[in-house]
């Protein structure tokens, strides 16, 4: 541990790398974004990032043609980052320039994400009008997890990152995964606007999560299963990454006949009978603990939303 700490301190003993750590404390960034804030060349910024990564201070995550960097959130790194922030002089002109450029960068992120979001929002609004209010769905989700605290939350098919935000008060850490790079841009912007720098997102498939067995004690899938070719495979994968005693929450539609959702909104499945999803959960080694059906209000022929809550058996002796 002492040698690791010395390696970290040596990596931090350089002004530019201190600036980079201070920036990453506000959320993950790409090399090009860090270049824009620091006003330095790509080779120089990449070299600093490599030294920080080699010292175990930050992590590197490729995403398509981009590479994102974020601070390691475990062990002494989080405490070192807090100390750096504490001793950073907010009145220093260079610090002020960095913070101003970072704020401008976040505004640009939000603007670009909003353009995509607006393009899709009309379709989503049409679907939401067909089922129970989203506020009520979120209330039912919070009720299913009431009284519990979680170390690691994984939101599969994270979309705008809303589930990460919803459960942020109950979870120490949170990661969202999604295949769509456009939606990841939206999620990053939304999480930044919400001040959730400790939450992050990754590009990944629901049936191949970039996590070790038992890595999460809360997993959520909000309106995801009906988009998947093999939804039962995704549930098996969620069960794999769920820790013993962990909670899986699923939100999706009851079986319906709205073919327009398949034709116009790319739904692969027209909802699911509650028993079918329950059977998949049991086959994955999970036990259903609560089933909630929310029928549409004042909408004839609308969509019924079902929430499945399931747990993974705790290890014996715990």
Full set of structural domains in the chain with CATH: 2-88 (1.10.10.10), 122-312 (3.40.50.150)
Question: What is the C-alpha to C-alpha distance for residues 204 and 27, in angstroms, rounded to an integer?
Answer: 19
pLDDT > 80? residue 257:
yes
pLDDT > 70? residue 283:
yes
Q: Looking at residue 239, what is its pLDDT?
A: 98
DSSP-derived 3-state class of residue 240: helix
Q: Max Cα separation, the chain?
A: 67
Q: Looking at residue 272, what is its pLDDT?
A: 96
**Residue 62 burial (C-beta neighbours within 10 Å; 0-12, 13-18, 19+):** exposed
Token pair of 98 as six digits: 């960095």
pLDDT band at 6 (very low <50, low <70, confident <90, very high): confident
φ/ψ of 305, rounded to 5, equals -95, 130
Q: Which of 268, 88, 281, 114 is nearest to 183 (CA)?
A: 114
Tell me what the mean pLDDT of segment 208-214 comes to: 95
Q: Please list, in sequence order, all residues whose beta carbon lies within 8 angstroms of the beta carbon of residue 95, skipping any fewer than 6 positions away.
A: 22, 88, 89
**Reported pTM:** 0.77
Q: Which of 203, 182, 190 is nearest to 164 (CA)?
A: 190
φ/ψ of 136, rounded to 5, equals -70, -40
Strand partners, 131: 303
DSSP-derived 3-state class of residue 267: coil
Among the residues of 39-92, which ranges form H helices? 42-54, 76-87
Q: pLDDT tens-digit profile of 164-196?
A: 999 999 999 999 999 888 888 889 988 988 989
Question: What is the C-alpha to C-alpha distance for residues 70 and 61, in angstroms, rounded to an integer?
Answer: 8
> What is the 3-state composition of the chain as percent helix, strand, coil, each rounded to the nearest 5?
45, 25, 30
Task: Answer whether 252's CB lies under 8 Å from 306's CB.
Answer: yes
User: Tokens 């067995």 map to which residue?
Assistant: 213
Strand partners, 70: 59
Token pair of 186 as six digits: 């939206």
pLDDT band at 126 (very low <50, low <70, confident <90, very high): low
| Average pLDDT in the chain | 88
DSSP structure class, residue 301: T
Q: Please list, in sequence order, all residues whose beta carbon lies within 8 angstroms of the beta carbon of residue 258, skipping any fewer than 6 positions away.
A: 130, 270, 303
Q: pLDDT tens-digit profile of 46-102?
A: 999 999 999 999 998 887 677 889 888 777 777 787 788 777 877 888 989 998 998
């Amino acid at each position: 541990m002492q040698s690791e700490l010395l390696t970290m301190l040596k990596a931090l003993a350089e002004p530019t790398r201190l600036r980079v750590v201070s920036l990453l404390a506000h959320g993950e960034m790409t090399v090009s974004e860090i270049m824009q804030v620091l006003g330095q060349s790509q080779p120089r910024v990449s070299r600093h990032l490599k030294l920080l990564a080699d010292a175990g201070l930050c992590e590197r995550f490729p995403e398509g043609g981009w590479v994102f960097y974020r601070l390691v959130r475990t062990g002494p790194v989080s405490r070192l980052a807090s100390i750096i922030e504490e001793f950073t002089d907010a009145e220093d002109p260079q610090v002020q320039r960095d913070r101003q450029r970072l704020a401008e960068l976040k505004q640009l992120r939000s603007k670009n994400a909003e353009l995509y979001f607006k393009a899709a929002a009309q379709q989503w609004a049409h679907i939401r009008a067909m089922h129970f209010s989203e506020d009520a769905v979120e209330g039912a989700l919070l009720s299913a997890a009431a009284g519990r605290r979680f170390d690691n939350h994984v939101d599969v098919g994270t979309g705008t990152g809303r589930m990460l935000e919803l459960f942020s008060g109950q979870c120490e850490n949170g990661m969202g995964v999604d295949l769509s790079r456009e939606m990841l841009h939206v999620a990053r912007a939304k999480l930044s606007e919400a001040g959730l720098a400790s939450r992050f997102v990754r590009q990944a498939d629901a049936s191949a999560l970039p996590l070790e067995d038992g890595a999460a004690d809360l997993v959520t899938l909000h309106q995801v299963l009906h988009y998947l070719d093999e939804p039962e495979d995704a549930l098996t994968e969620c069960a794999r990454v769920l820790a013993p005693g962990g909670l899986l929450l699923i939100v999706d539609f009851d079986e319906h006949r709205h073919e327009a959702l398949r034709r116009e909104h790319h739904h692969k499945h027209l909802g699911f009978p509650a028993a079918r999803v329950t059977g998949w959960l049991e086959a994955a080694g999970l036990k259903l603990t609560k089933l909630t059906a929310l029928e549409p209000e004042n909408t004839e022929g609308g969509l019924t939303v079902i929430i499945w809550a399931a747990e993974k058996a705790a290890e014996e002796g715990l």
